[in-house]
């Protein structure tokens, strides 16, 4: 009896999931082309911002390397700065606000 109840419960859950997916499908089909169009329009702006972030990151990395080589900062400070810079740049790479 319990196996039969479990099988019936599983069939009910699968039917509920299928019903939900059938209800969501028209919404997704209308929304997907708009999202793709928006991404195509914003692509050049995002690429420019990514290039600027990359250039700034490289300049900071070069500065940290020179300061460490000249012994103006120690290795632990350089490691902390490198981690902060790289984490900030890569963390905000795709979160550009208008």
63-80 per-position pLDDT tens digit: 988 998 998 988 888 888
24-49 mean pLDDT: 74
74 vs 85 pLDDT, higher one: 74
Least confident of 18-22, 30-34, 60-64: 18-22
pTM: predicted TM-score of the whole model, two decimal places: 0.47
> Which pairs from 23-29 meet CB under 8 Å and 24+ separation?
none
Half-sphere exposure of 69 (CA within 13 A, CB side): 6
For residue 46, name the pLDDT band (cuts at 50, 70, 90).
low
For the chain, the straight-line distance linking the first and the last C-alpha, in angstroms and rounded, comes to 60
Query: What is the distance between the alpha carbons of residues 24 and 18, in angstroms, rounded to a whole number?
Result: 10
**Closest C-alpha to 75, from 84, 63, 85, 65:** 65
The reported pLDDT for the residue numbered 70 is: 92
């Amino acid at each position: 009896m319990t196996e039969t109840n479990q099988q019936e419960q599983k069939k009910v859950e699968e039917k509920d999931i299928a019903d939900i997916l059938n209800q969501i499908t028209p919404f997704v089909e209308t929304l997907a082309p708009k999202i793709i169009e928006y991404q195509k329009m914003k692509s050049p702006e995002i690429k420019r911002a990514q290039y600027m972030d990359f250039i700034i990151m490289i300049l900071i990395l070069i500065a940290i390397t020179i300061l460490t080589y000249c012994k103006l900062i120690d290795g632990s400070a350089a490691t902390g700065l490198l981690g902060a810079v790289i984490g900030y740049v890569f963390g905000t790479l795709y979160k550009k606000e208008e």
